[in-house]
Structure 1
Amino acid sequence: MTRLSTLAQLRRISHRGTRHGSQRQARRPRTDTHTAGNRLQWAALVASSLPGIAALAALLFTWVSVEQSGKQLQIAERGQVTGRFNAAIGNLASPAVDIRLGGLYGLERLMRDSPHDQPTVVTLLTAYVREHAHGKVGGSASARPATDVQAAMTVLANRDPRHDGSGDFDLRNVRLRHLGYLGMWDRSRQRVIGINFPEADFSAADLSDADFEHAHLAGAVMAGTALREATLDGAELADAVLADADLARSHLVRADLRRIQAAGAHFEDTYLTKAEMEEAGLRRASLVRASLPGAILRGADLRQADLRDADFTGADLTGADLTGAKNLSTAGFDGAVLKGTRGLPS
């Protein structure tokens, strides 16, 4: 009985093991089926992503190509600018004036097309003028600047000063007598505009009878400069240095002469009608027969100035200092504002 029960138990255990083995074998196909399904899903996902990956690669390739093309274009443009610059320089050395003019106008176009190169062109043109109009004191008093010198000054005058950078405006000792008008008609403002030479150095230059109407010369250095009979109507000369300059018989109607330093300057027979001369330094200056009707001379320094027959009719001399002025009794002050003016006879 015991043996039979033992055999029965062994049969049951054997049967149970066989059944479990069969169940494990039955489950394996389901696992393989699940894995194959995942693989198919990943394959489908990759396949669907391929167009996007291709588009991204194409975009990257295009960007690299454009970047490379841009660099090559910049190199080509710089090469063209260098070629144009060298050609213009070569023309300036020509003995023929028409070829030199071509070089000058080539540099003008170069300044407009490549503002980055303007400081170099400005310095070059200034040196050209200085070389071709330097110290030529001899010759006829009525002689005008050479055609190419006038052209170089005109190119300089009508540039865009915003791109000057470190350009050098050294025009000391140049002889530019009877220099023609350098301005131009401004269509946008419907008015005449003048040259742009702020802070330029014209020391000891001969600019007699030059036409600087409406010129922008703020802060310019004109110490000892000859400006006899020059036209400076409407010019901006605020803070300019005019010490010992000769402006006899020149025209400065409505000119901006605020804070000029003009000690010892000559203004004999000069027209200064309605000129702005606030805080102007005119110590020891000669204003013999100068015409200053309506001029604004508030706070001006006229100490020891020669005022013989000067006309201050309607001028504003508020706070001006005339201490030690010469020939004060001959000057005309009809209608002038003399509030706080010092140095007047009591």
Structure 2
Amino acid sequence: MAVQRAGTGISECYGRVRVGRPALRHSLTRRRAAERRQIRNAGRRGDSSHGGTPWLALAATLPGLAALIALLFNWVSVSQTKTQLQIAQQEQFTTRFNVAVTHLGSSSVDVRFGGIYALERIMQDSPRDQPRIIEVLSAYVRTHASVPAGGYPMLKGHEEPPPVDADVTAVTEVLAERPPSQDRRTEINWKDADLRGLELTRRHMKKESGGNSSASRHLPFSFADLSGADLQKADLYGVDLQGASLTKANLAGATLSDVNLSEAFLTAANLTKTATDEEVNLRKATLEDAILVDAQMIGTNLTGAYLTSANLTGAFLKGVNLRHADLGVDLKRDKPGANLTDAVLWRADLTQANLTGANLTFADLLFTDLTDADLMSANLTGADLSLADLSDSDLTQADLSGADLDAADLSDSDLTQADLSGANLSGADLSGANLTRADLRGANLDGADLTGARTDEAIGLEPPS
């Protein structure tokens, strides 16, 4: 049985209290309001159990963020300092460069020496300035050692050249010791320079005595411009002149030992009485119109060299390599073949060489290899070709009158219309040779092998018995 208390909305039912709906709603409302106040207060106090976690996490990251900002600031500061140092350093190099160049113009040789070695030090300290320094020092040589317009007279006999000025020698040594990898394609220019008697040799350089095995064994002068330079009686040992321009240069009496002249341009150069050895490399060098009178070129590599109209009169070419070399005429430019009169070519290799129209009068070609060589219209009058190998060679219309071909190998060679009058062919191998319309009047054919040879219309050849 329910009993309701007056004015309370609360009824009792069998001893239990039952809350009425209005009182319940009011109680829930007050509870929710209290919870909201509690949440707001907890947020203000940073209570982690009521939503304070994000703020605490953010606060925890602040020291790391500050450290990162400090690191970035330090990095920017260091970068700026480094840049400022580099700028200051370049300004210092510029100042040093200007002072050194000014010293080069001094009337005092001692001051000029200081300028030269100051530039050397700048090259070591600032590789980016090396190209400019090469140009400056090259100009110094051209200015202080220039060949006059008419050139210098040829040195006679044992006449010695004047000594090279000490400051010019210093420049050549500084450039010889530079690291070529920093040249940036800048080339040494000693055009029309007076370098008579210059000693540019590897044995004088620091890199030879310093024991640096990684250093190049050749002094770096590849692609240098030495056109018109006077190098009479110069001593060039261990120099790299690959691709260098020596057009009209005077190298008379010079010593070239272990010099690399591959693909160099020696057009109209004077190499009279020049001495070279087997380590000199003239592979594919251009020696058109070059003067090599009485040159000593023992064992020199001239593979593929261009020697059209070169003068090799009296040259000593023992053991030289002239494989694929071009010593023939140039009909398009009206250039004659090379002149090898009285030249000595003992045991030289002229395999597949072009000797069309070349002058080999009285040349000594003992044991020379002329296999598959082109000797069309060549002049071999009185030449000594004893024991020479001329197999498969083209001797069409060649002049071999009076030549000595004792025991020479002429097998399968083409001697069509060749002049062999008075030649010594004793013991020669002429098997398979083409002697059509060849002139053999007065030739000595004792013991010659003519097996399979074509002798149609040959003149002076006695018919077989």
Q: Give the TM-score taking structure 1 as reference length.
A: 0.90
| Alpha-carbon distance in 2 for matches of 1:196, 1:239 | 15
| Alpha-carbon distance in 2 for matches of 1:39, 1:58 | 31
Deviations 1:217-260, CA, capped at 9 Å, x for gaps: 11111111100111211111111111111111112212111111
**1:29 to 1:176, Cα distance in 2 relative to 1, 3 A:** same
**Residues 1:338 and 2:375 are matched in the alignment:** no
Shift of 1:91: 1.3
Percentage of matched positions with identical amino acids: 36
Q: Which structure features the higher share of helix residues?
A: 1
Amino acid at match of 1:86: N
2:107 — aligned with what? 95
292, 298, 302: which is aligned to 1:277?
A: 302
| Alpha-carbon distance in 1 for matches of 2:293, 2:358 | 15
Shift of 1:190: 8.7
Counting only pairs closer than 5 Å after superposition, residues 163-182 of structure 1 correspond to structure 2 as 163-182=182-201
**Residues 1:294 and 2:319 are matched in the alignment:** yes
143, 156, 167: which is aligned to 2:162?
A: 143
> Which structure has the larger Rg over C-alpha atoms?
2
Shift of 1:138: 6.1
| Alpha-carbon distance in 1 for matches of 2:70, 2:135 | 48
**Residues 1:229 and 2:229 are matched in the alignment:** no
1:241 — aligned with what? 265
Kept in 2, the 8 Å contact 1:154–1:182? The answer is no
2:407 — aligned with what? none
Counting only pairs closer than 5 Å after superposition, residues 41-56 of structure 1 correspond to structure 2 as 41-56=53-68
1:116 — aligned with what? 128
Instruction: Report the more deviating stretch, 53-62 or 164-173.
Output: 164-173
Instruction: Tell me the C-alpha RMSD between the 2 structures.
Output: 2.7
| Alpha-carbon distance in 2 for matches of 1:190, 1:39 | 71
| Alpha-carbon distance in 2 for matches of 1:256, 1:18 | 119
Question: 3-state SS of the aligned residue for 2:239?
Answer: coil
**Residues 1:29 and 2:34 are matched in the alignment:** yes
Deviations 1:86-122, CA, capped at 9 Å, x for gaps: 1211211111111111111111111121111111111
Kept in 2, the 8 Å contact 1:157–1:194? The answer is no
Instruction: Report the more deviating stretch, 271-280 or 17-26.
Output: 17-26
2:180 — aligned with what? 161
| Stretches of structure 2 lacking an aligned partner (at least 5 in a row) | 12-18, 329-336, 376-394, 401-414, 416-465
Shift of 1:323: 2.1
**1:33 to 1:338, Cα distance in 2 relative to 1, 3 A:** same
Instruction: Report the more deviating stretch, 34-43 or 141-150.
Output: 34-43
| Stretches of structure 1 lacking an aligned partner (at least 5 in a row) | none
1:257 — aligned with what? 282
Shift of 1:15: 4.8
Instruction: Report the more deviating stretch, 50-59 or 216-225.
Output: 50-59
Amino acid at match of 1:70: K
Deviations 1:292-313, CA, capped at 9 Å, x for gaps: 2221101111222221221211
Amino acid at match of 1:320: A
Amino acid at match of 2:299: K
Question: 3-state SS of the aligned residue for 1:52?
Answer: helix
**1:24 to 1:221, Cα distance in 2 relative to 1, 3 A:** same
Kept in 1, the 8 Å contact 2:327–2:355? The answer is yes
| Alpha-carbon distance in 2 for matches of 1:191, 1:334 | 41
1:211 — aligned with what? 235
Amino acid at match of 1:113: D
**1:33 to 1:41, Cα distance in 2 relative to 1, 3 A:** farther
1:107 — aligned with what? 119
